A and B are shown apart, each in its own frame.
Chain A
Amino acid sequence: MYIHNDIDDDIKFLAKSEIRLKILNELYKKPNDVRGLVKQTDITYSSVSSNVIKLEKNNHIKKIKNNYYVNPMTEVYLKTLMDFKNSVQMVNDYESFWDKHDLNQLSINSIRRITDLKDSELIETTPIDIYKTHNTIKNQISVSNCVKGVFPYLHPDYPGLIEEVLQNEGSVELIVSKSIFKELMLRINDNIRKNAIKEQKLKVYRFKKDLNLYLTICDESMSLGLFKTDGSFDQNRILISDNPKSYSWAEDLFEYVKNEVRA
């Protein structure tokens, strides 16, 4: 891939100086003059004024009367740059969750929108609580009315949890790997299962290829688990969130995997 020179220069010019980024961020919040910027940022007067001149020269800000304003396009530059910064932070903050894990089952779009997971909580098992991840998911499911899930493996608790949701008039939609499909269906109580399927309260899709992703979407929360690059599921870490953005991120990913089933 080739980066156009102009863009390259623009990106470098803004990304190179934290002072310029800071000034732009401040001016974006509130148009100001040099003196006001000095007050707000604690950066020295000479540094602020020289960078303001550079920013103006490069057509990123404009002086109207006494105050500097960020140009509309630069505002968008800044937003996308901050979005990129947040994605870097997302990678760093949950380093142990991503590192050496298989991301192939995520859609490219879900990776582009990784910052939607920003306020997630990383749940990790500890030596004194080795079932922490599983219990977290179990608690989420058992209080939910509507459950969607991508299950690459079968935990002995799942059939019971599914029955519980269905008996409470809830609905369950699952994508499971081929290898566990039959077993899972057999373990759910016959009557409950048949009724639920008839009433369209239970939908289970069989995923033909290997499923390298774990995802649950409950009433107001989501949880995500990954496989390690060696092919084993990482039972020790999940990312959970009840933030609406993470929730819709998870729903999009679920739809994406569902489309893969049909493909």
Chain B
Amino acid sequence: MTSIEIKQGLTEEFSGIKYILTSGMRSRLLLAIYESPKNLEELRTELKKPSATILHGLKELENINLVRKVQKSYELTSNGFLLTVNMVKLIDNWYSLSKSKIFWNNHDLSGIPDELLKDIYLLKDAEYIHSTTSDLSNAFNTYINLLSTSEELRIIMPIYSENHLKHLIKLLNRKRLVKLELLVSEEIYDSIKENDLFNKKILQNKKVQIKCVKEELKIFLTYCKEFVSLSLFFNDGHYDDSQILIAKDENALKWALNIDRIYKEKEENYVKLQTGSSNFNEHLEH
């Protein structure tokens, strides 16, 4: 292959994204018109650019059938609408990531299924909480405090931590928490079972439903109506309890609930348990 052919091949491989995303004018116009159809005057005020520049951009977008002019107003075509909705998703995805840059860049993300990574925009209102040298357990304490607010908890727990488990027992002893669903790996399950206290107070507890998968889990996710929290492992394989993402909005809950869908699809991964655990049901969805 000649270098020209290689370049052409590459252009084809990544077709479409360059033209839209690398022109500030074109992408800004799409976003402005996405909000509502606008005329030239309105676009000029909003984008603070001269008419000639705006008209040039509009012409380009009209040529590729993303925008059309109806009387004096510019609106998105169906293609333009499809594309802009997805561009907004992309921007929100990146916003969501860059907002908690340290969190995303320092952890092993392999435990988060691709489907959820593509929807990371749903976490855009999440707050990044971390421990500091003056408050070493800030993240953990924030998490524990949140736990006590909820009535029905679901936790994907990738670690065996006596600290966490003891707190869960405390909560189970209270009236407020009526249900706890745990998803753990086989290895963690065995460790819990071997401990007499945890076996009795957690595994044998009627409020608790436990599910167990063969694979090792790489994500610590807690979700309930009140909040969603996420923490991860470092790239070297150690669990990081000093950084946590916490969100309290509906989008984040939607994101977390998608995990269910993904695990349901691979039902065969579940290990059969004798304690008679029932389904990871759909209470929260309704």
Q: For the complex formed, measure the closest distance between the CB of B5 and the CB atoms of chain A, giving whole angstroms.
A: 9
- Minimum CB–CB distance from B242 to chain A (whole Å) comes to 17
Q: Is B86 an interface residue (CB 8 A)?
A: yes
**Given A73-B97, A76-B117 in contact, is the A85-B14 Cβ separation under 8 Å?**
yes
Residues of chain B lying within 8 A (CB to CB) of residue A81: 17, 90
Tell me which residues from 56 to 74 in chain A have a Cβ below 8 Å from any Cβ of chain B. Answer: 59, 71-73
The answer to whether A111 and B85 have CB atoms under 8 Å apart is yes
Q: Is B149 an interface residue (CB 8 A)?
A: no
A1 partner residues in chain B, CB cutoff 8 A: 31-32, 34-35, 88, 91
**Residues in A neighbouring B34, C-beta threshold 8 A:** 1
Within 106-155 of A, Cβ neighbours of B (below 8 Å) are at: 108, 111-112, 114
> How far is A262 from B106 in the complex, measured between Cα atoms in Å?
45
Pick from B21, B32, B105, B120: contact of A71, CB under 8 Å: B105
Contact of A76 among B77, B78, B97, B235 (CB under 8 A): B97
How many residues on A have C-beta within 8 angstroms of the other chain's C-beta atoms? Answer: 51
Interface size class of B (residues with CB under 8 A): 35 or more
How far does the alpha carbon of A89 sit from the alpha carbon of B34 in the complex, in Å?
20
**Interface residue SS majority, chain B:** helix
Nearest-CB distance from A181 to chain B (Å)?
27
Given A21-B14, A81-B90, A89-B15: A111 in contact with B82 (beta carbons within 8 A):
yes
Asked whether any CB of chain B lies closer than 8 Å to the CB of A87, the reply is yes
User: Given A4-B98, A80-B118, does the pair A73, B104 have CB atoms closer than 8 Å?
Assistant: yes
Q: Which of A70-92 contact B (CB under 8 A)?
A: 71-73, 75-77, 79-81, 83-85, 87-92
The CA of A217 and the CA of B16, in the complex, are separated in Å by 31
Find A18's partner among B13, B120, B261 (CB 8 Å cutoff). Answer: B13
Known: A73-B97, A89-B15. A15 touches B21 (CB 8 A): yes
Smallest CB gap from A64: residue in B: B235
B89–A229 CB distance below 8 A = no
Interchain CA distance A89-B117 in the complex, whole Å: 20
Q: In the complex, which residue of chain A has the Cβ closest to the Cβ of B118?
A: A83
Is A6 located at the chain interface by the 8 A CB criterion? yes
B225 contacts A by Cβ under 8 Å: no
Is B28 a contact of A84 with CB atoms below 8 Å? no
B residues in contact with A10, CB < 8 Å: 94, 98
Residue in B closest to A90 when the chains form the complex, CB atoms:
B82
Q: What chain A residues lie within 8 Å of B11 (beta carbons)?
A: 18
List 10 other contacts, CB 8 Å, given A12-B22, A92-B15.
A1-B91, A10-B94, A15-B22, A19-B10, A22-B14, A73-B101, A80-B118, A87-B86, A101-B78, A229-B78
* Sampled A-B contacts (16; CB under 8 Å): A3-B31, A4-B98, A11-B94, A16-B22, A21-B13, A22-B10, A73-B104, A75-B109, A79-B117, A80-B89, A80-B93, A81-B17, A84-B17, A84-B87, A99-B79, A229-B78
User: Which residues of B are at the interface with A, using a C-beta cutoff of 8 A?
Assistant: 1, 3, 6-7, 10-11, 13-18, 20-22, 24, 27-28, 31-32, 34-35, 65, 77-79, 81-83, 85-91, 93-95, 97-98, 101, 104-109, 114, 117-118, 120, 235, 261
